[in-house]
Amino acid sequence: MLRIDDIAYSVEGRPLFEGATATIPDGHKVGLVGRNGTGKTTLFRLIRGELALEGGSITLPKRARIGGVAQEAPASDVSLLDTVLAADTERAALMAEDTDDPARIAEIQTRLADIDAWSAEARAASILKGLGFDDADQARPCSDFSGGWRMRVALAAVLFAQPDLLLLDEPTNYLDLEGALWLESYLSKYPHTVIIISHDRGLLNRAVGAILHLEDRKLSFYQGSYDQFARQRAERLAVAAAMAKKQEARRAHLQSYVDRFRYKADKAKQAQSRLKALSRMQPITSPQEAALRAFTFPEPEEMSPPIIQIEGGETGYGDIPVLRRLNLRIDQDDRIALLGKNGQGKSTLSKLLSERLPLMAGKTVRSGKLRVGYFAQHQVDELYVDETPLDHLRRLRPDEAPARHRARLAGFGLGAAQVETVVGRLSGGQKARLSLLIATIDAPHMLILDEPTNHLDIESREALVEALTAYSGAVILVSHDMHLLSLVADRLWLVSDGTVRPYNGDLESYRGLLLGRDSMPAKAEKPKTKKPSRDMLQALQADVRKGETRIEKLTEMHGKLSEKLADPELYAPERAADLDVWQRKFAEVEEGLERAEALWMAAVEKLEAAQ
């Protein structure tokens, strides 16, 4: 049992904990949540004994082993498998011990059997595989892998060691969707106590059974998933707000009496009594939720569909193709999530769509004035660390007024305190916000987001969902955050086996597939059974609804263009160039409407046939 009793700790005079108390029973899986900067990582360091408490105590059972992820596995010549095996220091020491003493040999063999040492390689290999390393990778040295992949090795090592108390700080930040889902499943069955700092609602709903909330320098323990915690918290806030309102009314009433009668002799005694009552009233403070840190994406103008169409496409690096047989269409109202294991080509496809990679074969048609915004984690690292966010905007928009720069930054949650702070001193979330601002500053018609939620807290993730919902451009999304994907994406593309195709299931079926419970949906084959699957019917119904929405939008555009072409002034000789542009747009919309109606009819026929 982990017992945190009345602890106090400050950083540079700022209190992080004052009288904080909590008890974590053995074997519990707990999510540690709270706003950025409240002290969650500091609490981990206090539990590990890396920092000295100013008051109170933190106690664990004797000989309890505490484990957490190292910065990353070293870039050594040791193989991944051996690196993970070495994390079980007792097994490694017993295996390395050289003795001729028969009694000692017997002790070693007995202990090795007790700790299940002979299955260790299989267990280590299974963990590495779950985190994305195949058999060939596991035999390679750590030095062959980048820092992000070595972080996965470090995570594999601590999971293999199975400490009595496992402390994980944002473990999914360096995992893809497949690795994050595997980790969720693994942690839910972990045999000892786990505390996880995370802003991933999916993980906090599926992998833990309790929430430890850090707020106002105190700790509160809630049984249940994150969603249950959020409901209980909302109820607490409502009760606290009502009590604070009632108390304020009582204060006002007492103060009014005091102000009226404190100088009247016959009422002075009662006024003094009420003054004392006022002084005894302890203010009821309503815990403050983090202000919703909204994102403000500029709106692009509407373009005729499709904005991108690829037929028989092929792309890759140099002369080596990575993706082939690409037959893809993207419209401005699309919300597409890219699924697929790491290394299958999701980033390659993103670079092709953003013209960072050329088409090696096939045909592509792009709208002439198409603007694409691109956000990837590596771009956060490419910010100028010695410059402020204002400096970045001055470079991008030298002709804009400083007030406009500040307004843009405020629209992405970067206030007066941050805009003149050098990037190197900003938090990870603040850097991500600046990068998102830069990616969207030109009001792109299509926004490609590769793991946008790393370093964003839960409130910021919810704000991002709202911004993407309101945004009128296309969204291509790669993320390990199932909650984000489920709220934003309405189409799923699977990147695997060197190509890209629609995934005919939903996110839950994909999660089941990755965890070995489902089989792969058919590519585009007719169902072999007479009765279509529920997933197939849902996919067909979604196609019909999408077709209807597209027709509605194009019909609206067609009406607006018809009104424009009905304007007599447009036909003046000096406006011949304008007339040509509007007539061309009208022809494009008519062609698009005809194509959309044909696609909708085909979708309706497929749905009727399936039903």
Share of the chain above pLDDT 70, in %: 89
Residue 414 structural domain: 308-521
Cis peptide upstream of residue 306 (ω within 30 degrees of 0)? yes
Exposure string over 194-209, b if 16+ CB within 10 A, otherwise e: bbbbbbbbbbbbbbbe
- The answer to whether the pTM exceeds 0.75 is no
Task: Report the distance separating Cα 449 and Cα 436, nearest Å.
Answer: 9
The three-state secondary structure class of 444 is coil
Domain finish residue from 479, 496, 521: 521
Task: Name the nearest CA neighbour of 131 among 107, 112, 106, 159.
Answer: 159
In a domain, 545, yes or no: yes
* Rg of the Cα atoms in the chain: 30
3-state SS of 18-79 is EEEEEEECCCCEEEEECCCCCCHHHHHHHHCCCCCCCEEEEECCCCCCEEECCCCCCCCCCE
Q: Do 145 and 163 lie in a common domain?
A: yes
Q: In a 10 Å sphere around its CB, with 0-12 CB exposed, 13-18 middle and 19+ buried, how is residue 126 labelled?
A: middle
Mean pLDDT across the chain, nearest whole number?
A: 84
Q: Do 334 and 465 lie in a common domain?
A: yes
CA atoms within a 13 Å half-sphere pointing along the CA-CB vector of 416: 1
pLDDT of 529 above 60: no
The tens digit of pLDDT for each residue in 84-130 reads: 998 888 888 888 888 888 888 888 888 878 777 778 889 999 999 99
Q: Do 397 and 505 lie in a common domain?
A: yes
Q: Do 341 and 449 lie in a common domain?
A: yes
Q: Do 248 and 342 lie in a common domain?
A: no
Our measurement of the distance from residue 395's CA atom to the centroid of its chain's CA atoms, rounded to an integer in Å, reads: 29
Kindly tell me the sign of the dihedral angle through the C-alpha atoms of 322, 326, 331, 333.
Answer: negative
Q: Do 202 and 152 lie in a common domain?
A: yes
Q: What is the mean pLDDT of residues 510-525?
A: 58
Q: What is the pLDDT of residue 553?
A: 78
φ, ψ dihedrals at 195, nearest 5°: -125, 125
Segment (H or E) for 482: helix 482-488
In a domain, 531, yes or no: no
In a domain, 211, yes or no: yes
Q: Do 139 and 254 lie in a common domain?
A: no
In a domain, 397, yes or no: yes
Q: Do 444 and 567 lie in a common domain?
A: no
Count CB-CB contacts under 10 A for residue 24.
Answer: 22
Q: Do 241 and 168 lie in a common domain?
A: no
In a domain, 298, yes or no: no
456: its two tokens:
């964003």
Q: What is the mean pLDDT of residues 180-199?
A: 92
The tens digit of pLDDT for each residue in 219-234 reads: 999 999 998 888 888 7
In a domain, 25, yes or no: yes
Q: Do 224 and 235 lie in a common domain?
A: no
The tens digit of pLDDT for each residue in 422-443 reads: 998 888 888 989 999 999 999 9
Q: In what order do the strands lie in the sheet with 491-496?
A: 372-376, 446-450, 474-478, 335-339, 491-496, 499-502
Q: Do 580 and 600 lie in a common domain?
A: yes
The three-state secondary structure class of 188 is helix
Task: Name the nearest CA neighbour of 166 among 178, 176, 156, 152.
Answer: 156
Q: What is the pLDDT of residue 160?
A: 93
In a domain, 286, yes or no: no
Residue with tokens 């500091």: 42
Q: DSSP state, 87?
A: T
The tens digit of pLDDT for each residue in 48-82 reads: 999 999 999 999 988 899 998 876 677 889 999 99
Q: What is the pLDDT of residue 221?
A: 93
The three-state secondary structure class of 492 is strand
Q: Do 213 and 341 lie in a common domain?
A: no
In a domain, 532, yes or no: no
Give me the amino acid identity at 153: V
Q: Evaluate whether 455 touches 428 at the Cβ level (below 8 Å).
A: yes
Q: Which residues pair with 373 in a beta bridge?
A: 447
Count up the domains in the chain and report the number: 4
Task: Report the distance separating Cα 479 and Cα 180, nearest Å.
Answer: 10
